[in-house]
Amino acid sequence: MSNRSELTRFFNCYILRDNKIIREDLWMRDGKIENPEHIFYVEQLKPTRNINCNNVLIAPGFIDIQINGGWGIDFSYDCDNVEKGIEKVATELLAHGVTSFCPTMVTSSKEKYAKILPKIKKSQGGRHGATVLGVHLEGPFISLAKKGAHLDEYIRTPDKGLESIAEVYGSLDNVVIVTLAPELPGATKAIKELTDLGIKVALGHSTASLAQGEEAVKNGANLITHLFNAMLPFHHRDPGLVGLLASTTKRQVHYGIISDGLHTHPAALRIACRTNPEGLILVSDAVAAQGLQDGKYRIGPQSVTVKDGCAYVTGTDTLCGSTAGLDDCVINFKQSIDCSLEYALQVASLHPAQALGIDNKKGKLNYGYDADLVFLHLETLKVQSTWIAGECVYSIS
């Protein structure tokens, strides 16, 4: 095990910095990225370790802000083994270059929230797994008409604003994102109150008009949950939530995209990217079947059937999340829209960090930033190793 206080120099590598991939050494110490000029000229130190990277590409670690589980674990279901489930998924994510994530709970009963939410705590990552940034609560304050895989009987209306939300969730201490439908009674009030608490609000599972979406953004919402999925399709007289990509609202609206080759057609990916490139965020939206074979699984109270890698609500043709890793989504995204390599990496690192307001320490390889890194094969983009706070926590060798 390496000493985190060691001054480490990575050489013979390419790095993503300032929107460019450059051939340059990367230095780190005490879990942070260091400025080599300051070390050389001011501190006059030499590196403790020199690591030959053999021409790998070093990028900021991936950040998955919407993931329901994986490797047999569903974050919304097993109340008795929550901590073990989080640890299992956090550990497995390291092989996919994910250094931080938001465990996501789908629409559930009040009893489930009461038992599960207090057990999903924010935590610093390491060899035990990726950093837990906080919980993403997707539902139950959503539209029945766009419920997707969410169960009818638990869907609610936030008619009393934050009071209604607190009645269902209980404590919001470990929550960082709430997805809700902005057209619901009380939603505008809830959005403002959640935003005042520092919780990000995502719009989704919704029949909202563009005007309702813009009102939500004016009151603090800054995200759209899995764009194109579980919302009204684009219409030229009222483009709905999709229209927020070209809205004149002053706030940057970020939007999640599932680029697993199934949820979003490549042409739709290109339309979104060309309309609002700064807001695009890749999410896995992975379910318990991630990393496993076809079969029967769960997503919250619903049974899931996975066939040929596609997850459906059992007995229906309703999609319910993906089985893809975020690293696969990055590769598929780049191939689908033929974007730059720099951009394909940023939409899985910098953009989610910006949406969560943590881009002052994550999502870049700037000096002083967390040394959360993913080493990638320069041509295939396959993960070679993953580093959290300057420590190698996964390696293929």
Q: What is the CATH number of the domain that holds 379?
A: 2.30.40.10
Please check whether residue 1 lies inside any domain of the structure: no
Residue 185 has a CB neighbour count (10 Å cut-off) of 13
Q: Are residues 173 and 210 part of one domain?
A: yes
Q: Are residues 333 and 248 part of one domain?
A: yes
Q: Are residues 70 and 54 part of one domain?
A: no
Q: Are residues 316 and 167 part of one domain?
A: yes
Please check whether residue 44 lies inside any domain of the structure: yes
| Cα distance between residue 31 and residue 122, in whole Å | 18
| Cα distance between residue 391 and residue 1, in whole Å | 8
Q: What is the pTM of this model?
A: 0.96
Instruction: Report the greatest alpha carbon distance in the chain.
Output: 67
Q: Are residues 67 and 55 part of one domain?
A: no
Residue 321 annotated as binding site: yes
Residue 96 annotated as binding site: no
Q: Are residues 377 and 241 part of one domain?
A: no
Q: What is the pLDDT of residue 1?
A: 41
SS3 127: coil
| Cα distance between residue 387 and residue 348, in whole Å | 16
Residue 334, domain CATH: 3.20.20.140
Q: Is 285 in contact with 322 (CB distance < 8 Å)?
A: yes
Q: How many domains does the chain have?
A: 2
Please give the chain's pLDDT, 397 residues, in tens: 444 578 999 999 999 999 999 999 999 999 999 999 998 888 888 899 999 999 999 999 999 999 999 999 999 998 999 999 999 999 999 999 999 999 999 999 999 999 999 999 999 999 999 999 999 999 999 999 999 889 999 999 999 999 999 999 999 999 999 999 999 999 999 999 999 999 999 999 999 999 999 999 999 999 999 999 999 999 999 999 999 999 998 899 999 999 998 889 999 999 999 999 999 999 999 999 999 999 999 999 999 999 999 999 999 988 899 999 999 999 999 999 999 999 999 999 999 999 999 999 999 999 999 999 999 999 999 999 999 999 999 999 7
Q: What is the pLDDT of residue 8?
A: 96
164: left (phi over 0), alpha (psi -120 to 50) or beta: alpha
Q: Are residues 151 and 66 part of one domain?
A: yes
Please give the structure tokens belonging to residue 396.
Answer: 């293929």
Please check whether residue 137 lies inside any domain of the structure: yes
Catalytic residues: 285
Please check whether residue 88 lies inside any domain of the structure: yes
Residue 149 annotated as binding site: yes
Domain that holds residue 187: 62-356
Q: Are residues 101 and 27 part of one domain?
A: no
Chain Cα centroid distance, residue 206? 20
Q: Are residues 150 and 19 part of one domain?
A: no
Q: Are residues 51 and 21 part of one domain?
A: yes
Q: Are residues 120 and 44 part of one domain?
A: no
Please check whether residue 313 lies inside any domain of the structure: yes
Please check whether residue 2 lies inside any domain of the structure: no
Q: What is the pLDDT of residue 4?
A: 52
Give the residues across from 131 on adjacent strands.
Answer: 100
Please check whether residue 377 lies inside any domain of the structure: yes
Q: Is 350 in contact with 291 (CB distance < 8 Å)?
A: no
Residue 202 annotated as binding site: no
Residue 315 annotated as binding site: no
Residue 138 annotated as binding site: yes
Please check whether residue 151 lies inside any domain of the structure: yes
Residue 205 annotated as binding site: yes
Q: Are residues 274 and 140 part of one domain?
A: yes
Which burial class, exposed, middle or buried, applies to 307 when counting CB atoms under 10 A from its CB (0-12, 13-18, 19+)?
Answer: exposed
Q: What is the pLDDT of residue 43?
A: 85
